[in-house]
Structure 1
C-alpha cells in the first residue's frame, strides 16, 4: 500500500540519508536555488566560521570583493591580526543580524549615531570592531577617521556586490543603553572596562533576528533599485558559544542560539527567492561524524571538517578555476590556516 512516504528519495530518510552514507560526503544535503555566475561579485561577512568560506571561494576562482585591503608595508602575516583580508571589508566579526543592520544603517546614513570609543592605558579602540587595532589607536580622532573611511568602504561594497554571503553566529550581544547600538564584545574584554555600566546584556529572539535581517534586505533593495536585486547566501556557524552571560548552562545557551539562527535562516530561505541557505552547520554537527570535525576544545572546526563543508558547496557551485590553474586541490588551504574569533577571548575568564 502506497502512502506519502513511499516515493520519497533516499535523502528523506534518516537511515539512508545519514546512517548509511559516509559523514565525509553527506550526499545531496544541499540543493542550490540559483547559480553564482563567474562575473558576479561576492561579499562576505559574519562570525568567525565565515572566514573559512571566504578563503575557499577566493581560492576557487570566485570574485570575492575586498574593498578595504591592507596598506602597503603591512606583512601578510599581520593582515588578519589587524582585521584585513578576513572578509570583504574591515568590519571584523559580525556575529549577529543586529550588527549587520546597524552597519548598513551607519554606512548609508547622513547623520549616523555616535561612534562608541573605548579607552585602555591611553590608547583608543573602536567599540564596534575592538580587535582590528591590537594596540589601539593613538587618539579618538584617529578612531573616528578610520571609522568614517571604513563606512565609505562598506557603502561601496553593498552598492557593488551581487551575492552576499553571511554567517549567523550568535544571538547574545551587549547593547549601549543610551544609543541602542550593539558591540561584538562586552566592555572590559579588550578595553572600555570603565564604561561597563553603560551597557546591558541582550539575547535576541527569533522575531528580532528575522526582523533585523529583513530590515537589511529592505534597506539595500531601496538603495540599489529593482534592477539590481541582491542575493543572499546564509549559513549558520557550527562553532558553539565560548561563554554565555544568559544565566543558562553554556550548552543550553549555545543550543538556543543556534536553534534560533537556524530557524531564521531556514524561514528566510523558504519565503524569499533571493535567499539561499547552505547547511554548513548540519554538516559539521552531523551525528554520524561523532564530533570528529571538532578540535579537542570541542569548538574549533578542524581543517578536515572545513574541507567536507566546502566540498559539499563546490559540488553544487563548481570551482571557477581548474587544478592546473591554481596549482592545488579545489579546497586546499594552507595547513596553518587560522581564523580570528573575538569571542574566543572569553576563554581567559573561565574558571
Structure 2
C-alpha cells in the first residue's frame, strides 16, 4: 500500500487510493466506457476513501488555525468560536482590525497578519511567518470575499479579475499554500471554503459574484474526495444573508480602474446592505455553526432552507435536459 495512504492518519482506503490521473483511465481496462471511468470498479471515486465516513476535528486545543477575512463578519465569528475551543488563531486580512474576543478568549492565542488573498507571493510570505510564529497550520478557513457587481453592459476584464481573484483565486491560493504541509502532517486537518447561496442557485446576486461562488462550491466538492485519503476534510460554507458590512468593505476594495458603480447598481448595493442588517443572521452564530460543522466533518454548511425549491427546480431542469439528450442521441444513432 502506498505510504501516502496511511501516513499518520490510520485511514484504510476503499480499494487503493491513487491519484485520479492514474490507471483508471487506461483504455485497456475492463470497463473503459465513460460510465466506467466515473463510477466503475476502477474509477477514481471507487479508489479513494469515502470522505463522509471520516471523522471531524475534536481536538482544537493548541491547533493553529488560519482564517482569512478574520477581522470582521463571519470570519470574526469563526475566530471567536475557535478561540473558545482553545485553538491558536492567525487572522489574515487586507485591513486587520482589533476584535472583541469576549471574556472567555485568551488574546495571547491570536495574531493578525496583513494579507491580500489574491496576491500569491504575499500569501507565501505570510504563511511562512505564521509557521515560524505559531507552528503548523492544520485548520484553514478560506473566508475572505467581496460582493461587488457590474451589469452585463458594463462588464470588464478588470472587474472579472478582481472578483474572481478574491472570491475564487483567494480560496485556491490558500489551498495551494497550505495543503502540501497538511498532506505531510501526522494530524487530521480540515479546510472550510466560504461560498454563498449564490454558488448553489443563480439569482439576483450578479453574474460575477455567482460565477465566483459556483467555482468555490465545485472546487470544494472535488477536493473533499481527492484529499480524503490524506486525512484532510473539506467543507463548503454557503450562507444566506448574514449581518455583515461586506457591501461597504467591497466598495472600499473596488479597484480604481473598474470605475464607479452606475446609479442603479449603487442603489442595489445599498438595498443589499440594508437587507443584510435587517434580516441577516448574527455572524457569531454562523461562526459557531461553521466550527461545529468541522467537528462533524460536514460536507455542506448552509444557514437556511429557503432556496430548497429553487435547487430542486434547477436539478429537475438538468435531469430533463439529460433525458432529452439521451433520447436524441439514441434515436439519431440509428439513423446515421
Interval of TM-score (by shorter of Structure 1 and Structure 2): 0.3 to 0.5
Mark the structure with the bigger radius of gyration: 2
Higher helix share: 2
TM-score, structure 2 length as denominator? 0.40
TM-score normalised by L of structure 1: 0.39
